[in-house]
Amino acid sequence: MTGKRLNRGVAVVGAGMSKFGAFPGLSTRDLFVQAFQDMRASVDKGFDPNDIEALYIGNYSSDLFEGQGHTAPFMADWTGLAPRPATRIEDACASSGVAIRQGIIAIASGLYDIVLVGGIEKMTDLPTSQVTDTLATASDMLYEIPAGFTFPGFYAAMATTYMHKFGATPETFMKVGMKNHTNGALNEKAQFGTTIRKVMDGKIAKAEARGYPVPTWEDELEFLHDDRANPVIAWPMRLFDCSPISDGAAALLLVSEELATQFSDTPLYIVGSGQASDVALHDRDDVTGLRAAQLAGKEAYGMAGVTPADIQVAEVHDCFTIAEVIATEDLSFFAPGEGYQAAESGGTARLGSKPINTSGGLKSKGHPVGASGIGQAVEIWKQLRGQAGERQVPGSPTLGLTHNVGGTGQTCVVHIYERR
């Protein structure tokens, strides 16, 4: 196989993020400053921000979410980097994953040596119905949205077909959500820093305190089956199957490979990068996998010269719980139809054979859509450098992967990171 190659290597030498959540009164530029400062603090040997030569900023829709277009130059201004070239990348929820790739391409081309890539989104200013409408513009407004589809609806439709084809049940997806909340409870940057068990116990305590009828859920699964506690959004996707509406920002400092050790004794080398596009969901032969993710994965594995089995920790795009199951199959961690079994048996848990979404994933960490792709890279940065604290994957992993999806998989981008 003749894989694509970069003209020169690229390394991550700094990674940071704001907390993800709802932050009334803070705009994307405020959140990006937080991410930038967090990134600066992570650069082991320090650096002069004036050495940054260009910015690539992933941002889905500040235009509709906060009434602000042309966001990249504002990020440059607020971080003291104007007049350097600042370019916005928009590929829906894959915007910042693609921003990473654009930063890589810019360095590999030889044009720049030091590039800042970022991701931003500010979603919580709008009421839920308008957020739903804004996210919908990432799908086909001419032929999909008139059918009544919403984003939870698209993934729910993939889920019904997946269940029909492979025998998964709604409980399979509930277990993915439980796992990601368990991971997110150990992440101080997560929007929901709590387990499903704690959410459930909190509701029971509240009912007791107020003298309301006390729910009698036996366990988390019974709680998750309760239509009132966990309402259906688009069947079989319920509230706790859906990533939240979030604000947040994230940033990486990328440098050419030969400069990496000037910044850090333990840089991460980006050994694989892949990206692909796809047609609308209804035009695909198969809706239980994302072809663009499969192709992006193949390209990244080929460039890196590694196999799916070599990956020790991965952050995948779990905008909905079904999406995580499909992602683990598209990336060939598991065969088609076997991803849900791995999810059910704990294989994708933090201490399982293939730890997936140790950060809590988009489900628990939060999904400020344009920032999510770089948020994933921040987790891999921490895991491969042994800095993930309580949620550290054991065994000192050296190879990690990020998988970032735009829309229903019309954009997918995969990166592979190595600590040498």
Partner 1 sequence: MADNDFSNTAFHQYLAEYKLMGAHCEACDTLYLPPRPMCPKCFGDDMNWVELPERGELIAFTTIHIAPTAMIEAGYGRDNPYISGVVRLENGLSISAQILGLDANKPEEIMIGTPVKAEYVERGEDEAKKTFLAFRAE
Active-site residue list:
93, 367
Name which position in 14, 236, 267, 297 contacts partner 1 (CB under 8 A).
Answer: 236
For partner 1, the closer CB: 77 or 286: 286
Gap between the Cα atoms of 403 and 416, Å rounded? 9
For partner 1, the closer CB: 161 or 398: 161
Beta carbon of residue 363, minimum distance to partner 1 (angstroms, whole number):
17
Name which position in 143, 222, 346, 389 contacts partner 1 (CB under 8 A).
Answer: 143
Burial annotation 342-362 (CB, 10 A radius, 16+ → b, else e) = bbbeebbbbeeebbbbbbbbb
Name which position in 129, 216, 228, 390 contacts partner 1 (CB under 8 A).
Answer: 129
Name which position in 32, 36, 74, 149 contacts partner 1 (CB under 8 A).
Answer: 149
Tell me if 167 contacts partner 1 by CB under 8 A.
no
Tell me if 281 contacts partner 1 by CB under 8 A.
yes
Name which position in 52, 104, 233, 378 contacts partner 1 (CB under 8 A).
Answer: 233
**Of 148, 176, 150, which Cα lies nearest the Cα of 162?**
176
Name which position in 160, 194, 341, 398 contacts partner 1 (CB under 8 A).
Answer: 160
Tell me if 234 contacts partner 1 by CB under 8 A.
yes
Helical ranges in 93-219 per DSSP H: 95-108, 128-136, 151-166, 170-184, 196-210
* Pair 403, 273: CB distance under 8 Å: no
For partner 1, the closer CB: 72 or 168: 168
Residues 6+ apart with CB under 8 A from 154: 139, 144, 281, 408
Q: Name the helix (H) or strand (E) containing 121.
A: strand 114-122
Give Cα 266 to chain centroid, integer Å.
23
Give Cα 297 to chain centroid, integer Å.
15
- Part of the chain binding partner 1 (CB under 8 A), chosen from 139-147, 196-204, 248-256, 392-400: 139-147
Q: Which amino acid is at 14?
A: G
Name which position in 130, 262, 345, 387 contacts partner 1 (CB under 8 A).
Answer: 130
* Pair 317, 93: CB distance under 8 Å: yes
For partner 1, the closer CB: 130 or 353: 130
Gap between the Cα atoms of 310 and 67, Å rounded? 44
Please list every residue from 286 through 305 that binds partner 1, using CB under 8 A.
287
Tell me if 64 contacts partner 1 by CB under 8 A.
no
Tell me if 278 contacts partner 1 by CB under 8 A.
no
Q: Tell me the number of residues near partner 1 by CB under 8 A.
A: 37
Q: Which two tokens stand for residue 131?
A: 């957020």
Gap between the Cα atoms of 416 and 288, Å rounded? 24
* Pair 19, 359: CB distance under 8 Å: no
Tell me if 128 contacts partner 1 by CB under 8 A.
yes
Task: Name the site residues for partner 1 (rule: CB under 8 A).
Answer: 128-130, 132-133, 136, 140, 142-150, 152-153, 156-161, 164, 231-237, 280-283, 287
